[in-house]
Amino acid sequence: MPLEMIRIDDRLIHGQVVVGWCPVLKPDRLILCDDEVAQSEWEAEIYKDAASDYQTSIYTVAEAAAALRSEQFKNEKLFLIVGSPEVIVRLTDLGLKINKVIVGGMHHQPGKRKILDFVYIDDRDLEYFRVLTERQVSLEAKDVPTCKSFDLAKKLGLN
C-alpha cells in the first residue's frame, strides 16, 4: 500500500489539495474516504471534477480499508483524504496500518475550540486523536506544503 500522504481536511478535495499538495506529492491517485460522499453519485462527481487532472477513487470507510489492504493499488502512489480523525480511527479499527497523518483543515464550527488557525476541535476529536496517538500514529498539523508543521499530539498534550 504506497500511501504517499494521509490528510484530514473537512473540505475533502478542494483547491488547497489540488493546487497546493498534489503538485508536491505527484500522486497517481487520490482516494477520498467518506461514507456520505461515496453514497451520493452527485457529490462523488463534484469531488472527482474538482480533481479532474488526477485519477480519483471515492470509497466508504469499509471499502477504502479493503481496497488499501489489497494489492489493488500496489503500483500507484496514493494520496488519501478524509474529513475527520474519526475516519482514521475507523480505518485502523479495520486493520489498516497508518503511521502518520497530516491534519490540514478542521475548521471552526460551533462547539469547537481553536488549536491552530486551521485546526479547531471538540472533545470527540480530542478523544480520536488520543486513540491515534496510543496506536502510534504521528499527528502533524500543516495546512499547505510551504508552511511550518506542528506536532499536533504535543500541542494537544497527548505525548
Q: CB-based contacts of 12: which residues, under 8 Å, 6+ apart?
A: 32, 34, 37, 47, 81, 83
User: 116 lies in which domain range?
Assistant: 3-155
Q: Which residue has the cell 470509497?
A: 59
pLDDT at position 1: 53
Domain total of the chain: 1
**Do the beta carbons of residue 98 and residue 78 sit within 8 Å?**
no
Percent of the chain scored above 70 by pLDDT?
Answer: 99
The radius of gyration of the chain's CA atoms, rounded to the nearest angstrom, is 15
**Measured distance CA(113)–CA(96) in Å, rounded:** 29
CATH number at residue 113: 3.40.35.10
In whole numbers, what is the pLDDT of the chain averaged over residues? 96
pTM: 0.95
pLDDT digits (tens, 9 = 90+) for 8-28: 999 999 999 999 999 999 999
pLDDT at position 152: 98
pLDDT at position 60: 99
Which pLDDT band holds residue 123 (cuts at 50, 70, 90)?
very high
